[in-house]
Amino acid sequence: MTVPELDSTVRLMLNGAPREVVVDNRTTLLDLLRDRLDHTGTKKGCDHGQCGACTVLVDGRRANSCLLLAVAVDGREVTTVEGLADDEPHPLQAAFVAHDAFQCGYCTPGQICSAIGMLDELAEGWPSAVTADGRPPSLDDAEIRERMAGNICRCGAYPNIVAAIREVAGGD
């Protein structure tokens, strides 16, 4: 009987740069980013998929990095808050500053990554629980709040988070 391999080699594109690392199979993507790849912008909140602080984009889609095993994202593209700005802040980053869309800031990287993924989902025409049947969704405040429900802000900065997203989305 062979000894089972408890480690794996993971290759991924992190914010456009190829990375290769050997991980204990138990490692989550969140812990890989923070503890092994020095990308501490992504935050660990609840570590159980209930708060959204760890939200990143995997192949362009938002996901909770605390519930993804690093071995399971081998070969994928991961974008974190560190990968959003080029010379200038990403428009959502600028809007969060302009609208004071945070207090302590701990949930902010997850909020911004989630909002980017959410706006792409909207552009694809995906419905939400508050979208009327058969109608293309429009980004009113009820849609923003429902679609961002996976990101908790314990400081309660929600009104300004909604305003920041609304400004970038070009809503009313």
Partner 1 sequence: MREFAYARARSVDAAVALVADNPGARYLGGGTNLVDLMKLGVERPDLLVDVTGLPMHEVTEDGDTLHVGALVRNSDLAAHPLVRERYPVLSQAVLAGASGQLRNVATTGGNLVQRTRCGYFTDATKPCNKRMPGSGCPAIEGEHHNLAILGASDHCVATHPSDLAVALAALDARVGVQDLAGPQEIPLADFYRPVGDRPDLELTVRDGALVTGVALPPLPAGARSAYRKVRERASYAFAIGSVAAVLKVDDGRVRDVRIALGAVASHPWRARVAERALVDAPATPPAFEAAAEAELAAARPLRDNAYKVPLIRNLVVAVLSELVGDR
Point out which residues bind partner 1 (CB under 8 A): 4-6, 8, 24-26, 28, 47-49, 52, 55, 61-64, 67-69, 71-72, 114, 117-118, 121, 124-129, 131, 133-134, 145-151
Tokens of 80: 């974190």
Looking at beta carbons only, is 101 or 143 nearer to partner 1? Answer: 143
Supply the minimum distance, in Å, between the C-beta of residue 49 and partner 1: 6
Other C-beta atoms closer than 10 Å to the C-beta of 49 total 15
Supply the minimum distance, in Å, between the C-beta of residue 118 and partner 1: 6
Supply the minimum distance, in Å, between the C-beta of residue 148 and partner 1: 8
Looking at beta carbons only, is 59 or 100 nearer to partner 1? Answer: 59
Distance CA 67, CA 29 (A): 8
Tokens of 24: 């204990």
Tokens of 163: 């305003």
Strand arrangement of the beta sheet that strand 7-14 belongs to: 17-24, 7-14, 77-79, 55-58, 61-64
Looking at beta carbons only, is 71 or 139 nearer to partner 1? Answer: 71
Looking at beta carbons only, is 105 or 158 nearer to partner 1? Answer: 158
Q: Is the dihedral of CA 160, 161, 166, 172 positive or negative?
A: negative
